[in-house]
Amino acid sequence: MTNETVFIDKALIPHHLNFGNFAVAWTKGNFAVYFLNSVIYTVCVVTGIVFISSLAAFAFSRLKFPGKNIIFYMFVGAMMIPLPGSFVALFVLVTKLHLVNTRFGYILCMINVGLSMSILLLKTFFDKMPPELEDAARIDGCGKLGIWWNMAMPFARPAIAVIVIFNSLNVWNEYILAMLLLEDTKLMPLQRGLVVFQGANSTDYPVLMAGLTMAAIPIILICLAMQKYIVKGLSSGEVVG
Amino acid sequence: MNSKVKATAILKDNLQNFFFVLPAFAIFCIFYIYPFYKMINLSFYDWRGIGPMHFIGLANYKELMSDHLWWNSIWHAGYITLIALTFQNVLAFALALACDREIRLKRFYRAVFFIPPVLSEVVVGLIWNWILNPQMQNGQYIGLLNHFLYTSGFPQLVHNWLGDPKTALTTIAIVHSWKGFGWGFIIFLAGLQTIDKQLYEAAKVDGASAWKTLTNFTIPMMLPVILVVVILTILGSMQVFVLIIAMVNEGLVNHTDVPVTRIFSAMQNVNRFGYACAEAVIFGMILVCVSFIMKKLSDKAKQA
């Protein structure tokens, strides 16, 4: 597609395809950097959420320590209370920690976003794990960490799939925190990059469309392949704010 | 001696167990509890983001009560929510009813309707921004909608949909509904599929019309599911923000403002962090009240 065809050719299927715009978007539009950043953030945040939330959910479900119930209900409460403007205070905090405009700061904030729902979902799964499994592992000489890794994690695989897909969507599509916390174009994810590009080149539709396609295609593919997991994630996070 | 050994063993055990939740607990305290506290705390201060903080008590809240731009923005969000509740959910329910039957290409519809909700608000907003583009180039309308209206014989309907204060908010609400109806559709469909098909047969044998079956039987059975969708729609639509940024940027400030854009601009454009936090607190309380009332309603519906 050229600028001409976007404007003139209103046919649903373009007459001739021109992949040159992807090359232009990739280089001139800086979308290669944005795309790579989105991949980095998604992988880091989702990996972080899976490890941190499964450790916590395992402890809430199987281990004993003082204050366990209070801490658990704090996570449940966090899911129930919508916090629409918390980004103001979050921005103040991240500034104080000198993490504005760093990948690390953004990743930590995004891990926090997905944590409560993931812990809740995994805990209900670990609760269903038969105690015999655990006993067998203990007889084999597994410690608590060993039981978590060798028994609980494989047992909870369906729940982990839901968590991975649902959180990947969330991180890939996130915009508000990326806008507030990342000022450097080298650090921006795709969603933020698209708005920046549109602000600078409002009529360069072919390249913008190439960028939009880049942002949409992975999501559409995941959505078609993994629909049932996404629905499960939605219904378990019913009142997420 | 023995009990002392036992006590240290228990303590060690407890500590070990606590280490499992420590990463989650630490992140939660720093990135959730602290901002939560800070938001309430800052709302009592006059603060420009840097420099000295002045404690001013409830002055931010007092100002907020008479800030008509703020209450307008809540009305705007309410208007978007209203359209989402009616237009979007009725459409979702009707399509779910249609797809609950044995129709051709059922799986195809299910997959296609599910695409808009998983796309990001930025992508949806920018695509619609192009579709609704009012400008002309080489004697042709750039935007698909106006081009379509023009070429199909309705040139009088060509309109600057997002630029006109009269149509901007409704246009945004409709795009928001377009993006959102897939969620409702999927949840309704899952609910409908749990209803025993034999009950429909029985109703048909009894001579109930399709409409009667729907109003007397299907809708009451679906009430808990409907209430879940209603809660999700209200919470989602009241907090709409990124879609508006992507569609109009800050073009029509006073006509397409919603609470979250007000909070954002108080912070970013005029550097009034305290005021932004007061807005966030009030808006959060409104949402908590709404979801509490809806939760009570849905509990009642489940009992009945």
Q: Print pLDDT tens along chain A (241 aa).
A: 445 445 444 444 455 556 677 777 777 778 889 999 999 999 999 999 999 999 999 999 999 899 899 999 999 888 877 778 789 999 999 999 999 999 999 999 999 999 999 999 899 889 988 888 888 888 888 888 999 998 889 888 888 988 998 899 899 999 999 999 999 999 999 999 999 888 887 767 888 888 888 889 988 888 777 777 766 666 654 433 3
B42-74 per-residue burial string, b: 16 or more CB within 10 A, e: under 16: bbbbbbeeeeeeeebeebbbeebeebeebeebb
Task: Tell me phi and psi for residue B45, to 5 degrees.
Answer: -120, 155
B147-174 per-residue burial string, b: 16 or more CB within 10 A, e: under 16: bebbeeeeeeebbebbeeeebbbebbbb
Looking up tokens 């599910």 gives B114
Q: What is the residue-averaged pLDDT of chain B?
A: 88
Cα–Cα distances (Å) from B178 to A10, A208, B172, B174, in that order, read 21, 21, 10, 6
Residue of chain B minimizing CA distance to A53: B24
Q: Which chain B residues have a beta carbon less than 8 Å from that of A172?
A: 120
DSSP β-bridge partners for residue B140:
B137
- Residues B275, B60: Cα–Cα separation, whole Å: 6
Which pTM was predicted?
Answer: 0.88
The alpha-carbon gap from B203 to the nearest alpha carbon of chain A, in Å, equals 30
Which of A74, A108, A216 has the CB atom closest to B119's CB atom? A216
Residue of chain B minimizing CA distance to A92: B49
| Interface with A, mutate which of B118, B136, B233 (most A CBs under 10 A) | B118
| Interface with A, mutate which of B120, B192, B297 (most A CBs under 10 A) | B120
Instruction: Indicate yes or no: CB of A220 within 8 angstroms of CB of B115.
Output: yes
Angle at A162 between CA A157 and CA A166, to 5 degrees: 150
The reply to whether B132 falls in a domain is yes
Spans of all domains in chain A: 3-236
Angle at B61 between CA B59 and CA B67, to 5 degrees: 105
Which three-class secondary structure state does DSSP give residue A98?
coil
CB distance B160 to B134 below 8 Å: yes
Q: Model confidence over B157-213: pLDDT tens digits?
A: 888 888 888 889 999 999 999 999 988 998 898 888 888 778 888 888 888 788 888
HSE at residue B230, side-chain half, CA atoms within 13 A, is 16
Give the tokens for residue A120: 């809740």
CATH of A3-236, one of 3.40.50.1820, 3.30.160.60, 1.10.3720.10, 3.50.50.60: 1.10.3720.10
The reply to whether B46 falls in a domain is no
Which of A74, A205, A216 has the CB atom closest to B130's CB atom? A205
Domain at B250, CATH number = 1.10.3720.10
Residue of chain A minimizing CA distance to B271: A88
Q: Name residue B134's amino acid.
A: P
- Residue-level pLDDT at A17: 58
Q: Model confidence over B57-89: pLDDT tens digits?
A: 999 999 999 999 999 999 999 999 999 999 999
Which three-class secondary structure state does DSSP give residue B47?
coil
- How many other C-beta atoms are found inside a 10 Å radius of the C-beta of residue A153? 18
pLDDT band at B134 (very low <50, low <70, confident <90, very high): confident
- Residue-level pLDDT at A137: 83
Instruction: Indicate yes or no: CB of A241 within 8 angstroms of CB of B283.
Output: no
| Interface with A, mutate which of B15, B22, B28 (most A CBs under 10 A) | B28
- Residue-level pLDDT at A53: 96
CB distance B257 to B31 below 8 Å: no
Which three-class secondary structure state does DSSP give residue B55?
strand
Q: How many domains does chain B have?
A: 1
Task: Tell me phi and psi for residue B136, to 5 degrees.
Answer: -115, 150
Which of A63, A86, A88 has the CB atom closest to B273's CB atom? A88
Residue B135 has pLDDT above 70, yes or no: yes
Work out the burial of residue A188: count CB atoms within 10 Å of its CB; fewer than 13 is exposed, 13-18 middle, 19 or more buried: buried
Q: Model confidence over B80-132: pLDDT tens digits?
A: 999 999 999 999 999 998 888 777 777 788 888 888 988 999 999 999 988 88
Q: Which chain A residues have a beta carbon less than 8 Å from that of B15?
A: 65
Residue of chain B minimizing CA distance to A58: B20
- Residue-level pLDDT at B173: 95
List alpha helices for chain B, DSSP H: 2-28, 34-42, 59-65, 68-83, 89-100, 106-113, 115-118, 121-131, 144-151, 165-193, 197-205, 210-213, 219-238, 242-248, 259-268, 273-303
The alpha-carbon gap from B27 to the nearest alpha carbon of chain A, in Å, equals 6
Residue of chain B minimizing CA distance to A212: B123
The alpha-carbon gap from A229 to the nearest alpha carbon of chain B, in Å, equals 12
Q: Model confidence over B16-65: pLDDT tens digits?
A: 999 999 999 999 999 999 999 999 999 999 999 888 889 999 999 999 99
Q: Which chain B residues have a beta carbon less than 8 Å from that of A230?
A: 114, 118
Instruction: Indicate yes or no: CB of B27 within 8 angstroms of CB of A169.
Output: no
Give the tokens for residue B67: 């800030």
The reply to whether B98 falls in a domain is yes
Instruction: Indicate yes or no: CB of A56 within 8 angstroms of CB of B25.
Output: yes
Q: Which chain A residues have a beta carbon less than 8 Å from that of B262?
A: none
The reply to whether B32 falls in a domain is no
Q: Which chain B residues have a beta carbon less than 8 Å from that of A81?
A: 284, 288
Which of A7, A85, A215 has the CB atom closest to B279's CB atom? A85
- Residues A118, A60: Cα–Cα separation, whole Å: 13
Instruction: Indicate yes or no: CB of A223 within 8 angstroms of CB of B34.
Output: no
The alpha-carbon gap from A35 to the nearest alpha carbon of chain B, in Å, equals 14
Task: Tell me phi and psi for residue B141, to 5 degrees.
Answer: -75, 135
Q: Domain span at residue B233?
A: 68-303
Which of B140, B259, B276 has the CB atom closest to A8's CB atom? B140
Instruction: Indicate yes or no: CB of A56 within 8 angstroms of CB of B23.
Output: yes
Residue of chain B minimizing CA distance to A174: B120
